[in-house]
A and B are shown apart, each in its own frame.
Chain A
Amino acid sequence: MPEETEQTTQLTSDQLKLSSNIANYSFEDQKENIIPVKQGRSGVTLSQLFSVAPSKRHEQLQEGHNQFSQELQNLGELDDPLDVYSRYIEWTIQNYPEGHNNESNLIQLLEAATRLFQDDVRYKNDARYLKYWIQYSKYVEQPREIFAFLENKNIGSNYAVYYEEYGTLLERAQKYKEADEIYKLGIRRNAQPLERLNRRYNDFQIRMMTTTSIPNENPQTASKELINPQRKILGIKSSASSTKSAPLNVALARNSSSSREAANTLKIEHATPIDDNLPSTGKISVFYDPDGRIGAAALAASENKWKDYGTEASRKKENIHDPLKWKGEKLSQKSNCSVIPAAKLEIYHDEPQLASLNETERPIEDFGRLPENKSDTSKEHKLTRETNSSHTLGKQSASSSSQTRKAKSNNIQLPENFFINLDQFYVGDEEFCFEEIRAKYLGWGDKSVEEEEHSIDANVSEYCTDVEKNPTSNIGQRTPIKDAKFDESEKTNRPSPTINTKEALADIYEIFSQPLIRDSDDENGDYSSSSRAKRENKPTIFYDENSLLQTPSSSYNTSGIFAGQKRKGSHDENFDLFENSFNSQASAKRQALGILFPLDCVHKETDIENSQSLNNELENNSCGESNSIILRNQYSNHRGDIRTVPFEILTPIDERNSEYESGKASLSSATSFKATESNESTGELDDTFGHKTQKKVIPLSSKSNQPILHFQAFNSLPGNLCNPMDPEIRDKFFSELNPPLSSYEGFYDHKLTEFSGSEKVNNCAMNWINNSRKRHNVSIDSDYTLNLLDDTFEIRQKLGEGGFAKVYCIVDKKRLNKIIGNEIHRSSNCNDKSIFRALKLQKPPDAWEFYILRQVHQRVSASTINSFISVSALYLFKDESYLIMEYLEHGTILDVVNAATKENTSMDELLVGFFTVELLKAIEAMHAAGIIHGDLKADNLLVRLEPTEEWDSQYSPTGSNGWSKKGVKIIDFGRAIDLTLFSEETKFICDWETSEQDCYEMRVGKPWKWHADYYGLAGIIYCMLHHKFMQTTCVDESITRKRYMPLLPFKRYWQDLWRRMFDMLLNPSYVRSDSQLPITNELRDIRRELEGYLVMNCERNGKSLKLMLRKLENKEYS
């Protein structure tokens, strides 16, 4: 509606004056939203626009749009359709001061206007039309394309505006040369108004003068102008590589696939007027088109090709998303850049202390590819190994291999060293894995199980000792044996010739008592420890290396046996010493050299004596190659015990008193392998070395008139020292006893008659075992009866054997008959334990144990009385004595330990604790009663598990609730001492050969008293805990103080009180500040502590003390 628009314009012009001030006000705050227009904006329109409310303004504008769109519908009927558009555009520009937006749709409007008439000849040279194109170009990303398009369509080419705008555009894009060409083109084409164009061109040239004078302005362009000044507008670029000089080409190339043809068209089109100026190069002649035919054809082609410039929407179409539902859409995230594992990463070295649980991950170091040529590396490896044959081969090869590795990759900074010794695992061409080495070491390497099974019977275990005697051990210091006082701490200070003394013996024993493992530690670790070698069935050799200077004459050896060497599993070449290996099967040798000692006799004193005779031999053999002589002796021991090998079952410790040796020799009946063996050994001993007995300081037998005891033990009861085992002392005791022994109940004294029943008893026991194997049913046969005076007993199996006594199980016929008389079924009687007794057959006879046991039972309080074996009778004959004691079916602690070892379990700490408490109680009571047992060991301790009706699972230290029925029973009081018979100061020394199971003082010949029991107690506990006989080590706290410790460490989870207890028991003299013994009170305290632990833990963590005891109860130990 033109009228209406006129009205509005009139209105606005009317209002202009009226409201200029107001108008200023009304759009003052909106100035930022108004796009400046070249020709300016009407203030009235603006004030009108911004004075109305936005919603109302929107309505108004919408109305305007509607009007124009109505007009546009009738476009086809108008003479000047562009006019409608021109008004619409003007209106839009005026009414939308913010420029193009979705409401104004200015761009769409311009597009519509320009596209509609692009092929309309009427408007080819219409200023308005051109103006809209130029306006449109402002909204286009690549305005140059618009101009190229217009050029192509030949729109507005007569107007200076085109060239001016184009030139300005290029100038703004710093394409000065092209701008210059455009200006020139316009001038040449006589574009109107030419004057303005000229002026603009002049201005441009002036600007160009200033810009080109700035050197850094666009050096490329500038230099091109210098180099190529002849180049003309739209001419051919001189350099094919330069795209900048061919703006149209570039512009078109971006636009369509036909750009080349279009470009050609352009060039051809414009070539005609300018060809004169062109340099006559080959390139240009190609495009030369004098006829214009090609140009026309090309033009036609170009018109086909670039018909339409396309709308903004079409250009943007790639950027426009089709509307999608948002639900479930994922917003694309910026993708993480992936970590590409680099070929070479920083090397990470394991630092030992850096390890922590929550450590952040680290890249695996050196993920390098494996070496391609593997055979090479192996060769290399072999080579390096072959070249090194020395001892340090492993290390060298390791380092050389690390060097080769280094050569391959620079990753390694540090030299590598193998933790293991490669030599051990690469022998010759063969590899050995750890397990093989271990198996070999343990002796499994070349032995089949079958062999082993067979070999058990003839098992020969060897024991060896290394005996070294420091020549400097003193003699001057040596106190006479009579005093038997030794100060071992001083003996290293002064020289002493070699003399067989107890002190010297003590030194040797001390060496013996050193555990082998420690030896190896001391010896610079040069050879592998021999501690395990005991397991081997084959002869083993123990090496020793000693740097001590020793004179041969001072060397002690317990039994010098020189035999051929057999080295096994050794890695060492550098032993220049004597090695003796003795195979017991080489009986000839053995006989020649004379001695075969059972395990228990290893430390026989006599050995020491005998060995001296070998010293000369030794001297001869030593060849004087060095000052050191090391004797290696092996004791071989026939073991009849089948159980020994696989489990290292502990066998009871034989005690052997030298005074009975001769008597034993006559005890020839071989009831067991062991018996024969011990006979053999003792017999041999006498045979071979009988002639040397005179050398002995302490004679073997007290029967010899040499006084063993140089203390006055006989008349007045003792001086300070005493051999408690001395029969003469005992005889004296008996004679002075008040009341006399004969008054004791159950004592049958027939000292004058010989009985000689031992063989019969032995045979009976053998038969019993044989028969009971055959016949399942136990029947009582008269064959087995033993008549001791008026009493009849029936011999059953042998229970055990001591050094000079045997223990049998017997049936008390009297009692049996009584029960039968009560008409109880016979078969059930056999299971009644009350009919069984234990018979201790001792040869030679001994009444001592009977006496002691009676004394114990008299003196000890009722609460612990059950912890001591009770004796019912003693039949004493001239040659034998028969001690009848109560019988306990559950065996000894040693049996329990061995049974546990067999089952590969260990005695639970609770159980050990229980027995320890019981044992401690008993010993406390015994010591309080003035009795020392003197021979406490695991095989002298029976397990007492009496049946009980009520038995609470909660442990009770007081013995209530049935706990008193369980415990231990101490047996074998053969060595016991009744302290009341001696004066208080009396201490004892022993004359029997000691073993490691005897206390330290006994072994070194020092006087002892309670030590023996303490040590024995420790030995029992150790045995229960570790399933091994106790070995101790010695720590020097100071020169005069030595502290003994058990060899094996306590397990981590065991209670600490074990350690304290052992410390007390092994070092009893350190317990009290005044070093006085006994330490009964201290032991009681630690026992109470242990009791407390038992009370707390007797039913904990699924363990129950009661159940464990019940398990023992239900087991059969025979």
Chain B
Amino acid sequence: MNPVISIRNITKAFRKGLIAVDDVSLDVEEGEFITLLGPSGCGKSTMLRIIAGFEEADSGSIFLAGTDVTDFPPYRREVNMVFQDYALFPHMNVAQNVGYGLRVSGVPKDRIARKVEETLALVELADKADNRPSELSGGQRQRVSLARALARDPKVLLLDEPLSALDANLREAMQVELKHLHEKLGITFVMVTHDQTEALAMADRIVVMKDGKVSQCGTPADLYDKPANPYVARFIGTANFIDGKVMGADDRVVEVQAGAEKLRIARVDGSPASGDVRVCIRPEKLTLVANGVSPPAGENRLSGTVDEILYHGANARVRVAVDGQDPMLVDVQLKSASLRQQLPGIGSPATVCFSRSDAMLFGEDRDR
């Protein structure tokens, strides 16, 4: 199947030499929900604006459904954008906003009316057709903006941080709704966000960007379980890092000296087998063992002191200060009140354990 969007070596620098997008290539398949994820300034929004045609790339090309649209103005591209702050026309009512793109392209009046009605029903705003945008709530404006973009039956829907202006509850509801809408319509969604939970919850595929480059691209599970570098590991979910030096390696295990401790990490394809390394491990893969209790046999262990406990209801995140390393975050399941009582108190010594196959190993040269 041909990709609906092909991005080929796009580079864009702004004045003052700031490189916003640095040689990005990417294929988006038809019907995919893809998310560009990264902190502010990583070039994700610029990339989206280049796809929409608002920014011109310095080099590289963009294909939409096989057509080279690199030099097309925005009004000749079959993509539509949902803007971050909605960008609704304040001098038009909701129906006029939604029908705007159709009116101008010479669609007959009765067909516009039908399409507007249909699209507004899709976003559950049929009763607001005659309202001005200023009379709507943030969530409703968001839906109008969505309806306006969808009314033109675009090949690709671009969403620029569409949920960032909404409050937390509404944001979660809209995440589900957008996902359902995507499944129902079957068109390609390209969304920009800085919110990793949003990306994990919604996207089929996530493109993690850093400094204008694609850091890693894959399914949410891929990115979480097999991050390509510490940067991705930290950006998707939470990660603990232990700095160390490789002391020896065989086919199955890499031995890492981290301070006084010797850690044994499972060796996988691409594991560094020498030099300085970072061991990366997720908080939920760590076990916390109070002093006096013997840790599970054969596991790596680091001893330290509990210095903070944050309760999240069903679980708690415990921060353990470890000599010579960054503090380790450990997620502890609290399935019963007795487990809660067993949690070591703040200031008490504790041991952090993990199995060799749960840790990931990154070489020093990898993107941090």
The answer to whether A and B interact is no
B residues near A (Cβ < 8 Å) are none
